[in-house]
Structure 1
């Protein structure tokens, strides 16, 4: 499907047999719709009238609500989390719970701080269920209940904001338009045991590298600003 819609791929999202066509103006949208219908006619692709919506400012696509240049998870995702009790998960329940959280992790800052406690229960010799695990479930339910919408990326200045601590790191991808910064996505992770003894500056370098890889889809082909609270970082870049 991706190959078929290559001529309009810069204005089309393709996921299996789900298609989302988007544009900036009505005239531009009409142009891409004409190309779209030419392509499906050429390849004999049938579309369902009942499942199709044309020229709308709001759409529910793959469980995400998209409107006015922003998107956020539908309320059904938070409802799924409420089905889980907050104690004594089985291994399968831990996997299911984390699977739902991972689907919306781009909306949740420092989510790994909580998920790492539950991920420990999936190891070969897991610890017993403790209060910290119940607290992690409660916190994740709370922050996932009504996550703020994220902005769809445009042509503004992109900023990658990084923070690293002793055991974990966090990143925010922002976009600056007309002097205003808006959130594009969040990322976070834990440092493995072999890296926890590293100096803070090296941890921030690792966080930068991992974050760029995480947001590669947004950053590739663009100049962007890396924002850190460590004044020594620029000196390392200039080191010869």
Structure 2
């Protein structure tokens, strides 16, 4: 996704037939044999459900679009995203991909394709020149989610919003009462803390936060904080308007041992976890990294 920085126009393609576009190696068809009341059959093309199907198909797509990958194309399985920094060149970039698909007898599903748009939904995330935001369909699903009545319903809700946690500051702290309900041997009790947690997560989702594209040529600003049970962090960069804009959020719950740490160690652990989480951004930056924390004693951690 970092390659989409400065992209201004997008086209999304969805391949027809997915895995079935890959022919099984001649002589290996017997490995897919299955028996029915009508007789025994073998697949000639790769079916869904094979252990290595996803990896094999991704490798196939990477090889197919090798020269264009991360230059004008991002591909995940049968979802292809074409992007251009110069709108005038976008038609050329789309044509290059379509020619490569046609050459290999691969066809798209028109109803799922979007051409020459400035905002596109890709892999459950809305992408625009301004950055990344939540897919509108996912926002609607969360805001209309009924109050859970069972542990399984709580788990289903947490599983769904967990995909959106990158957009929700302090996710772990907010969701803690709901996570506690899913613990084994814990009796079901939906009270005020649980309802507040549920409603706050829904409220945070409706804010539709936008995460800015990262720019490796600009300095990074990292803000961390820790509570008794969890830590949170924000990675930001300063944009042209002079304000800090979030690139990513993260939050993690402390395990039983970490909850026994003193305040200083929890705050330091939050810094370490954040640096590990965003190592891909921070490790190679030539710019200084500015840290923000509300625990002043961390300034002297090397001397202690």
Same fold (TM over 0.5): yes
Aligned pair count?
238
- Cα distance, 1:225 vs structure 2: 1.4
Deviations 1:90-141 (A, max 9, x none): 1221111001211111111112112121111221112331311122111111
Task: Show the counterpart of 1:51.
Answer: 112
Q: 1:19 to 1:212 in 2, by over 3 A?
A: farther
Task: Show the counterpart of 2:134.
Answer: 73
Q: In the aligned structure 1, how far is the partner of 2:299 from the partner of 2:95?
A: 49
Residue 69 of structure 2 corresponds to residue 9 of structure 1:
yes
Residue 153 of structure 2 corresponds to residue 93 of structure 1:
yes
Task: Show the counterpart of 1:24.
Answer: 85
Residue 225 of structure 2 corresponds to residue 163 of structure 1:
yes
Secondary structure class of the residue paired with 1:20: strand
CA contact (8 A) 2:173 2:229 kept: no
Q: Decide which of 275, 287, 297 is 1:212's aligned counterpart.
A: 275
- Cα distance, 1:174 vs structure 2: 0.7
Question: For the aligned residues, what is the CA RMSD?
Answer: 2.7
Q: Decide which of 188, 199, 211 is 2:262's aligned counterpart.
A: 199
Q: Decide which of 195, 215, 221 is 1:154's aligned counterpart.
A: 215
Q: 1:53 to 1:77 in 2, by over 3 A?
A: closer
TM-score between the two structures when normalised by the length of structure 1: 0.84
- Cα distance, 1:172 vs structure 2: 0.5
Task: Show the counterpart of 2:298.
Answer: 233
Q: How does 1:26-41 map to 2 (within 5 A)?
A: 26-27=87-88, 29-30=90-91, 32-33=93-94, 35-41=96-102
TM-score between the two structures when normalised by the length of structure 2: 0.68
Q: 1:8 to 1:236 in 2, by over 3 A?
A: farther
Q: List gaps (5 residues or longer) in structure 2.
A: 1-57
CA contact (8 A) 2:143 2:206 kept: no
Q: List gaps (5 residues or longer) in structure 1.
A: none
Secondary structure class of the residue paired with 2:160: helix
Rg comparison, structure with higher value: 2
